[in-house]
């Protein structure tokens, strides 16, 4: 895709804003700087985009506590030296401890996250957190307005996710009609019947309707948003078929664009010498025989990811089908996430307990049914593991999109592997037809689906794997970016008004 052309049709430059930064810098006492990359599909995917499109990315600069070090050091060029591709500017916002608590831990991750994933019983009451959320959104709006002013002409400002729902309206108040504002919401938008439980729901809708374009991963979420705006906001004129909301003198266009992965790069990584070395070493170090079949799951340790339900299903599979004992190992890679939140810490414990339970029940002297690790694994190692696995198991109880399913397909399992996929993931809307679908809470059905997937004849596996590979190549990361940018160009050329596609 011709990004420069699409980008210049959309605006004069690109300013991206997300809560999470793509690189985290730690400044040692001796002046040494170490850089690492946080977990999560959003930042990894957007970083790929930004390497190709020179611009500014604004994010919370977590990690660097020492004010003396960070003073006057709020921008850096990334990726760090040595990485492939171009560089761009990362501008960090330094938040204090109370702001992080209220804005990130409480409002974003204990109210909006569970609410949007339809887990109302997990939503925590919020008091002052709302004021922190508003204030931090204002800091983002200030930074975006400054970056937009520094850019030539009227740039495209592209916001991301549920941490920044108020910022579009706040930015509009600061920057006027000039910049084009687009916002991608990477998690589900729930039905009105769920969303109506949201504290401050009017302000959230109003904030998001400061955008020219609002993008979700799948049409279901667009429809839920449009109906929420229709039911929730007096004075909003909503056209569900056209995907538009007119409110406070401005039209917001609502579109679906499913995010993809850099399929070519992942395939290359999976075929690298490092990947091959990792595969062999992983089996050896974890005591997995060379001819034991593998199923693999890779997740942030988040209660939406369905890891506990997945372990229940494997337990049932081994209980009902003794022929898999000694012949199949389920490898679960977990990444610790948001551990300061009790619901997350509890979840990590529940996962560990479920792993121990299954292993205690079935393990023998030379075989373990479940291998579980939270070790950091390189991209090459992970791609290698995907290629090694007969099954890729992606079974969230609710998930905006899910890029792991696509990464598994992109890596291209040797023996064509089978994707076992929850119908609750956004990506099921695009890939579900060629996956083996599961409902994560239906333990018996899930176990039967694992059995089906493990006994599927090679011809059928190949047929599905080819269709899946075509699907993720057609809808890869570049095509997602092109979709978003052409939707932006459509609203920009219509002068903030009529949708053109």
- Shortest CB 2 distance to ligand G6P, Å: 28
Among 7, 15, 42, 341, binds ligand G6P (CB under 6 A): 42
Binding string, residues 156-185; x marks residues near ligand G6P by CB under 6 A: -----x------------------------
Binding string, residues 220-249; x marks residues near ligand G6P by CB under 6 A: ------------------------------
Smallest CA-to-CA distance from 106 within 121, 89, 87, 127 is with 127
Using CA atoms in the order 187, 193, 196, 198, what is the torsion angle rounded to 10 degrees? -40
* Per CB under 6 A, 102 contacts ligand G6P: no
Between the alpha carbon of residue 8 and those of residues 5, 156, 245, 308, the distances in Å are 5, 9, 26, 46
- Provide the 10 A C-beta neighbour count for residue 240: 15
177-209 core/surface letters (b: 16 or more CB in 10 A; e: else)? eebbbbbbbbbbbbebebbeebbbbebbbbbbb
- What CA–CA distance (Å, rounded) separates 309 from 383? 24
Site for ligand G6P in 109-128 (CB under 6 A): none
- Shortest CB 442 distance to ligand G6P, Å: 25
Site for ligand G6P in 328-367 (CB under 6 A): 337-338
Among 10, 16, 20, 244, binds ligand G6P (CB under 6 A): 20
Position closest to ligand G6P via CB = 40
Among 11, 13, 22, 41, binds ligand G6P (CB under 6 A): 41
* Per CB under 6 A, 40 contacts ligand G6P: yes
- What CA–CA distance (Å, rounded) separates 156 from 212? 10
Among 169, 186, 255, 398, binds ligand G6P (CB under 6 A): 186
**Cβ 48 vs Cβ 477: under 8 Å:** yes
Number of residues that bind ligand G6P (CB under 6 A): 12
* Per CB under 6 A, 299 contacts ligand G6P: no
Q: Is 284 exposed, middle or buried (0-12, 13-18, 19+ CB in 10 A)?
A: exposed
Residue-wise DSSP of 68-124? HHHTT--EEEESPTT-SS--EEEEEE---HHHIIIIIIIIIIIIIHHHHTT-GGGPP
Task: Point out which span in 35-43, 141-149, 230-238, 493-501 binds ligand G6P (CB under 6 A).
Answer: 35-43
HSE (CB half, 13 Å, CA atoms) of 326? Answer: 5
Closest CB to ligand G6P among residues 111, 465: 111
Task: Point out which span in 39-47, 66-74, 264-272, 446-454 binds ligand G6P (CB under 6 A).
Answer: 39-47
Task: Point out which span in 32-40, 84-92, 208-216, 231-239 binds ligand G6P (CB under 6 A).
Answer: 32-40
- Contacts with ligand G6P by CB under 6 A lie at 20, 38-43, 161, 186-187, 337-338
């Amino acid at each position: 895709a011709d990004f420069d052309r699409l980008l210049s049709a959309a605006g004069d430059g690109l300013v991206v804003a997300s809560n999470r930064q793509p690189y985290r810098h730690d400044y040692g006492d001796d002046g040494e700087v170490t850089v690492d990359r946080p977990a999560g599909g959003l930042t990894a995917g957007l970083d790929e985009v930004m390497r190709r499109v020179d611009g500014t990315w604004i994010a919370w600069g977590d990690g660097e506590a020492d004010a003396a070090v960070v003073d006057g050091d709020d921008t850096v060029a990334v990726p760090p030296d040595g990485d492939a591709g171009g560089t761009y500017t990362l501008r960090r916002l330094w938040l204090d401890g109370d702001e992080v608590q209220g804005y990130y831990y409480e409002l974003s991750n204990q109210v909006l996250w569970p609410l949007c994933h339809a887990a109302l019983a997990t939503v925590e009451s919020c008091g002052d957190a709302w004021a922190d959320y508003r204030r931090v959104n204002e800091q983002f709006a200030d930074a975006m307005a400054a970056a937009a002013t520094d850019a030539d002409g009227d740039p495209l400002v592209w916001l991301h996710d549920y941490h920044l729902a108020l910022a579009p309206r706040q930015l509009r108040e600061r920057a006027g009609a000039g910049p084009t504002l687009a916002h991608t919401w990477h998690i589900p938008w729930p039905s009105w019947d769920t969303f109506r439980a949201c504290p401050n729901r009017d302000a959230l809708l109003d904030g998001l309707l400061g955008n020219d374009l609002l993008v979700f991963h799948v049409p279901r979420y667009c429809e839920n948003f449009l109906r929420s705006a229709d039911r929730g906001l007096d004075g909003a004129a909503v056209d569900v078929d056209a995907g538009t909301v007119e409110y406070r003198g401005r039209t917001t266009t609502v579109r679906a664009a499913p995010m993809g992965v850099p399929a070519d790069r992942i395939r290359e990584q999976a075929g690298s010498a490092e990947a091959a070395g990792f595969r062999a070493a992983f089996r050896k170090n974890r005591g997995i025989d060379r001819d034991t079949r593998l199923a693999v799951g890779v997740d942030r340790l988040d209660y939406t990811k369905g890891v506990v339900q997945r372990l229940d299903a494997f337990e049932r599979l081994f209980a009902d089908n003794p022929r898999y004992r000694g012949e199949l190992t389920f490898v679960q890679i977990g990444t610790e996430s948001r551990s300061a939140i009790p619901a997350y810490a509890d979840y990590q414990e529940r996962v560990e307990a479920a792993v121990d339970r299954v292993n205690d029940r079935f393990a023998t002297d030379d075989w373990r049914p479940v291998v579980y690790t939270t070790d950091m694994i390189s991209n090459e190692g992970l791609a290698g593991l995907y290629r090694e696995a007969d099954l890729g198991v992606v079974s969230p109880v609710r998930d905006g999109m899910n890029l792991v399913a696509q990464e598994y397909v992109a890596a291209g399992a040797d023996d064509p592997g089978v994707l076992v996929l929850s119908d609750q993931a956004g990506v099921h809307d695009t890939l579900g037809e060629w996956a083996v679908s599961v409902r994560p809470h239906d333990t018996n059905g899930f176990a039967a689906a694992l059995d089906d997937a493990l006994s599927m004849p090679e011809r059928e596996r190949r047929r599905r794997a080819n269709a899946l590979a075509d699907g993720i190549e057609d809808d890869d990361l570049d095509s997602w970016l092109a979709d978003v940018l052409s939707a932006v160009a459509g609203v920009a050329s219509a002068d903030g008004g009529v949708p053109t596609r």
